[in-house]
Structure 1
Amino acid sequence: MNEINSTLLTAADTNLVPVYAEIFLLIAASAILLIDMFLKEGKRNLTYALTLLTIGGCAVLSFADFNSGATVYTFSGMYVSDPLGNLLKLFTYLATAMTLVYSRQYSGDRGMMSGNLGGEFYVLALFSMLGQMIMISGNSMLSLYLGLELMSLSLYALVALRRDHAVSTEAAMKYFILGALASGFLLYGISMVYGATGTLDITTIGQVTAANGANPTILVFGLVFIVAGLAFKLGAVPFHMWVPDVYQGSPTAVTLLLGGAPKLATLAMTIRILVEALPAMAFDWQQMLMVLAVLSLAIGNITAIAQTNIKRMLAYSTIAQMGFVLLGMMTGVVNGDSSDAASSYSAAVYYMITYVLTTVGSFGLIMMLARAGHEAENIADFKGLGKRSPWFAIVMTILMFSLAGVPPMVGFMAKWAVLQAVANAGMVWLAVVAVMFSLVGAYYYLRIVKTIWFDDAADTAAIHTPADMRVVMSLNGLAVIVLGVIPGWLLAVCYSAMQATLAK
């Protein structure tokens, strides 16, 4: 019997099929880096095309894994391919691809480090996505941390991409220093959990803590540091200080790379650590998440009202939106009963997916209005957009309504799913608090809509955008409506994926 188990373990350790997407991305990104070195200035359209093809190849491989519905472990259990991970990877690819399409003209106009399109921009975006994929599928504290650092280091470099731009350099320094501090918190927390349980494996940690085989005092201290590190990456209060400055100071293309797909990876990492590794400590971390959620909703929504820079306003909006995600995460276990865990956690996943799709389109429109020598970063830059470009004014209106939670946009259904989970957990007062702050937040979203349609245009220059950007932007806006009108299938997919994860 021992020989059979040894054979099965060896077979699992050498199974590379679940990591084909990561292997393909690593090889392709390295090849694109080399190819770009030999391209002339006017030929870097090839870098852009190869990058999108690479993301498409990853999507095909991950979809095959998702379609199988199987949960497979490899690399001595350090990596897991499961429905939840593959679902989040697919939306990570979608968000990254949309970001690159929206960023194409913007990065070209600003010559981001190398020529018209900036080869480094695309290669760093791919390596950042590789880190996100490792975070999503990590089944060990070590692999999760390595994925986080790969993503973070790529994003640090992207924020500082415009070396001649003082504001971007300042934003990069703030992000790097605070990010290093947060990584230290997370690593210290992981070391304490390792000291208490004697393992870094997610599954084994869950078994040890469930059997009360670890020192509870050390675990709680480790948990505090881990939650602090995760809250920083999500941008939750009081670990949100970097978000407004970095969002505003970064080139808008990089801001979108920061505020889009990485949120999905961070949520996956949060689920791996809190839900899978430390479910026995749910009471402790749920209390922490409750405080973070309420503070994020309050400070994010109230502070956003005073902003005149739209990137900074959307940064505070992100902080508030993360409050809703944390509400979903903190309602899975009620008085030791985890029967509603799948629906609560899937509501958080659904909220994050729909938020990312909406915010990608919002920043895409900011880049659409920007042109060489001009950044459309102030709310006043959107004056008269309804007359300059009625269709894209409608798209921006749809996106703002969705972020505000106005039906029938998908943002309304996402908020409804989370509020339903909170109410089912018996925390009606918390649902009321969330609704109240959402009403406060609706003001600054509707202010942009008012600026678009009722204010006279300060800039009457024609809006010139590539055809691929116009098509993707239009589909982005339509998807926000369609997913709001027909939300059932995505909710069902999130629920079944979460069920499979909790059943492991």
Structure 2
Amino acid sequence: MSLTNATVINNFSELGFNWALMAPVLVVLFGAIIGILLEAFVPAKQRWSVQCTWSIAVVAVALLAFAPSFGAFDLQSGQRLVRGELIVDGFSMFSQLLMLIVGLLALLPMIDRTGNRVSAFAGQPSDIPGSFQEEQTERRGYQRSEVLPLSLFSLGGMMIFPMANSMLTLFVALEIISLPLYAMSAMARYRRLLSQEAALKYFVLGAFASGFMLMGMSFLYGYSGSLLLDQLALAIPYRVASPALLMTGAALMMVGLLFKIGAAPFHAWTPDVYQGAPTPVTGFMAAGVKAAAFLAMLRFFSTVVVQFEANFKPFLWTVAILTMAVGTFFGLVQDNIKRMLAYSSIAHAGFILIAFTKGALNANGAVLFYLLTYGVATIGAFAIIYLVRVSNEDGVATAEQHSMSAWAGFGKTHPVLAGCMMLFLLSFAGIPLTAGFVGKFLAFSAGVQGGATALVICAVIASAITAFYYFRLGKIMFLDPVAENTTVAPHAEITYVAIGICALLTVLLGILPGSVLDILQNTAIVIP
């Protein structure tokens, strides 16, 4: 039986497939597939430059594809696609836009080749460091260019995650996000064994969390007889005979999502993976994966959990308080700057969880704005970390300098980079006139409106304590004597562009947040 083009289009129409609304996601995923094909057909010497150009072009085209998407439907009504598997509403549209902005900024340090024109990724990760095989790889100029299409696959999964109305689609999107990151985490050029150890931990613990999530899905399917979240929500008022099945399933689902955001006690992977992964990949994970998981959790919470939020509140409050405590107090004793930012990320996860309360007004907009401000500051901070290097006997920049003591006097030798780093740290701390202050204010206000005043008080105390380790790094950079053997990687123009954009957004969103907030709070609506 032959299929004509008209038949194929009609079949897609019967599925409820809307090309205009799906255009941004399709552009990214098809771009990733073509990127894999480029690996097979482009000569090795030209592969890196071709993949870099292609990846940036794909994300740029996906951003442009939003123009017809926004005009294709009413943001406040939404539309179900693919027989209800996906929901496109104002919330999912702005979630996808956030993912693309984060993805584009995170790609810039990834594609940069500094110093002697090498990237953050090992030419051949299987080579033993310092071996003859590694020397041969370096001499031939091989680059692991497949990391870029892998990034696009992960970005595509992040865009699908907040749209998912089906638990099955949610799980598939989670795996599309995670599997490329497991491989990317093992590809660091320097400290390779640490990188491979981090990837193994991430993979094992990620599989463990996925198992929890699948078990929760099976319980919820047994409870409602449907994999769709909206159908599950409709079943809750009429199926009062099995509350334990519902609560257990929802809790296990939340465990899988809490793992991805790095919430305690599911945070153990975060410091090790952030430290061991290539720094541009760490920035991508810290900003992108956390945002995608929070947004998917917000849809699940707004659709399902909100109906029994009173029973679920002790679990959520316990996780939020524990997360803030772990991120705050463990961050105080870190000397490795990447581990310090990992615990900072854990603390921020606790702050964002405060907005997950039933009575919170404009909580969706607050979470989106917080994730945007946190994402740009995080990518900017890790981009600077990527540039700060150990200087060898010949004065050549080699491995990254992660010890905080090695950043001593950095503000005296490189005042612009140190100033940008301090700006990002101030945003993390929530200091006024930075974007982070507005984000925290919105999240804490949502918590107060939702009746979580005690939780907000804990968050304010934790936020004040976390400011100590941000200002500690500032003191080291600007007041301590200049450290020896610390330099900055030369010829990093693309990374400087990423840092500049992140710094500009951090300032603008802190001083002039009004228009962005109005758009998010009026249109970022979750359609149940």
**In the TM superposition, what is the alpha-carbon distance from 1:162 to its structure 2 partner?**
4.4
Aligned match for 2:94, one of 63, 87, 101: 87
Partner of 1:268: 295
Q: Distance in 1 between matches of 2:88 and 2:450?
A: 30
**In the TM superposition, what is the alpha-carbon distance from 1:346 to its structure 2 partner?**
2.6
Q: Does 1:417 align with 2:442?
A: yes
**SS of aligned partner of 1:266:** helix
Report if the CA contact (8 A) 1:244-1:316 is conserved.
Answer: yes
Of residues 192-201 and 260-269 in structure 1, the stretch that sits farther from structure 2 once superposed is 260-269
- Write the letter of the residue equivalent to 2:44: K
Percent of counterpart pairs with the same letter?
30
Go from structure 1 to structure 2 and tell me whether the alpha carbon gap of 1:413 and 1:462 turns closer, same or farther (over 3 Å shift). closer
**SS of aligned partner of 1:451:** helix
Partner of 2:221: 194
Q: Does 1:245 align with 2:272?
A: yes
Q: Distance in 1 between matches of 2:67 and 2:309?
A: 32
**SS of aligned partner of 1:408:** coil
Aligned match for 2:452, one of 399, 423, 427: 427
Aligned match for 1:469, one of 475, 495, 499: 495
Deviations 1:22-72 (A, max 9, x none): 222222212122223323325522211110000111111234323554422
Deviations 1:201-238 (A, max 9, x none): 11111111144466212101111211211111110011
Partner of 1:343: 362
Go from structure 1 to structure 2 and tell me whether the alpha carbon gap of 1:424 and 1:110 turns closer, same or farther (over 3 Å shift). closer
**In the TM superposition, what is the alpha-carbon distance from 1:191 to its structure 2 partner?**
0.6
Partner of 1:108: 118
Q: Distance in 1 between matches of 2:372 and 2:343?
A: 18
**SS of aligned partner of 1:501:** coil
Partner of 1:57: 61
Q: Does 1:129 align with 2:137?
A: no
Report if the CA contact (8 A) 2:91-2:364 is conserved.
Answer: no
Q: Which runs of 5+ in 1 are unaligned?
A: 1-6, 334-339
Q: Distance in 2 between matches of 1:357 and 1:461?
A: 24
- Write the letter of the residue equivalent to 1:99: A
Partner of 2:410: 385
Report if the CA contact (8 A) 2:406-2:486 is conserved.
Answer: no
Q: Which runs of 5+ in 2 are unaligned?
A: 1-9, 125-140, 391-396
Report if the CA contact (8 A) 2:23-2:69 is conserved.
Answer: no
Q: Distance in 1 between matches of 2:328 and 2:26?
A: 41
Deviations 1:449-485 (A, max 9, x none): 1111112222464552432322231121121111011
Aligned match for 1:40, one of 20, 41, 44: 44
Of residues 44-53 and 249-258 in structure 1, the stretch that sits farther from structure 2 once superposed is 249-258
Partner of 1:369: 388
Partner of 2:335: 308
Partner of 1:495: 521
Of residues 461-470 and 72-81 in structure 1, the stretch that sits farther from structure 2 once superposed is 461-470
Q: Distance in 1 between matches of 2:248 and 2:378?
A: 35
Q: Distance in 2 between matches of 1:489 and 1:120?
A: 39
Report if the CA contact (8 A) 2:20-2:68 is conserved.
Answer: no
Report if the CA contact (8 A) 2:387-2:489 is conserved.
Answer: yes
Partner of 1:395: 420
Go from structure 1 to structure 2 and tell me whether the alpha carbon gap of 1:43 and 1:186 turns closer, same or farther (over 3 Å shift). closer
Report if the CA contact (8 A) 2:39-2:47 is conserved.
Answer: no
Partner of 1:18: 21
- Write the letter of the residue equivalent to 1:22: V
Q: Does 1:225 align with 2:268?
A: no
Go from structure 1 to structure 2 and tell me whether the alpha carbon gap of 1:109 and 1:468 turns closer, same or farther (over 3 Å shift). closer
Aligned match for 1:145, one of 154, 171, 180: 171
Please state which structure has a larger fraction of its residues in helix: 1
Partner of 2:105: 98
TM-score in terms of structure 1 length: 0.91
**In the TM superposition, what is the alpha-carbon distance from 1:252 to its structure 2 partner?**
1.1
How many residues in Structure 1 have an aligned counterpart in Structure 2? 488
- Write the letter of the residue equivalent to 1:317: S
- Write the letter of the residue equivalent to 1:409: T
Partner of 1:337: none
Aligned match for 1:358, one of 349, 372, 377: 377
Partner of 1:293: 320
CA RMSD in angstroms, aligned pairs only: 2.3
Go from structure 1 to structure 2 and tell me whether the alpha carbon gap of 1:190 and 1:31 turns closer, same or farther (over 3 Å shift). same
Deviations 1:428-462 (A, max 9, x none): 33222111111110000001111111122224645
Q: Distance in 1 between matches of 2:144 and 2:21?
A: 32
- Write the letter of the residue equivalent to 2:287: G
TM-score in terms of structure 2 length: 0.87
Q: Distance in 1 between matches of 2:160 and 2:47?
A: 32
Report if the CA contact (8 A) 1:89-1:133 is conserved.
Answer: yes
- Write the letter of the residue equivalent to 1:55: V
Report if the CA contact (8 A) 1:25-1:54 is conserved.
Answer: yes
**In the TM superposition, what is the alpha-carbon distance from 1:152 to its structure 2 partner?**
0.8
**In the TM superposition, what is the alpha-carbon distance from 1:88 to its structure 2 partner?**
1.4
Q: Distance in 1 between matches of 2:379 and 2:153?
A: 19
Report if the CA contact (8 A) 2:182-2:199 is conserved.
Answer: yes
Q: Distance in 2 between matches of 1:119 and 1:463?
A: 21
Of residues 378-387 and 107-116 in structure 1, the stretch that sits farther from structure 2 once superposed is 107-116
**In the TM superposition, what is the alpha-carbon distance from 1:311 to its structure 2 partner?**
0.4
- Write the letter of the residue equivalent to 1:361: G
Deviations 1:393-447 (A, max 9, x none): 1111110001011111111111111221222233333222111111110000001
Report if the CA contact (8 A) 1:386-1:394 is conserved.
Answer: yes
Q: Distance in 2 between matches of 1:36 and 1:395?
A: 36
**SS of aligned partner of 1:108:** coil
Deviations 1:98-129 (A, max 9, x none): 11212223693455346565211101101111
Deviations 1:74-101 (A, max 9, x none): 1111012222111111121111111121
Q: Distance in 2 between matches of 1:462 and 1:15?
A: 48
Of residues 464-473 and 139-148 in structure 1, the stretch that sits farther from structure 2 once superposed is 464-473
Go from structure 1 to structure 2 and tell me whether the alpha carbon gap of 1:171 and 1:462 turns closer, same or farther (over 3 Å shift). closer
**SS of aligned partner of 1:474:** helix
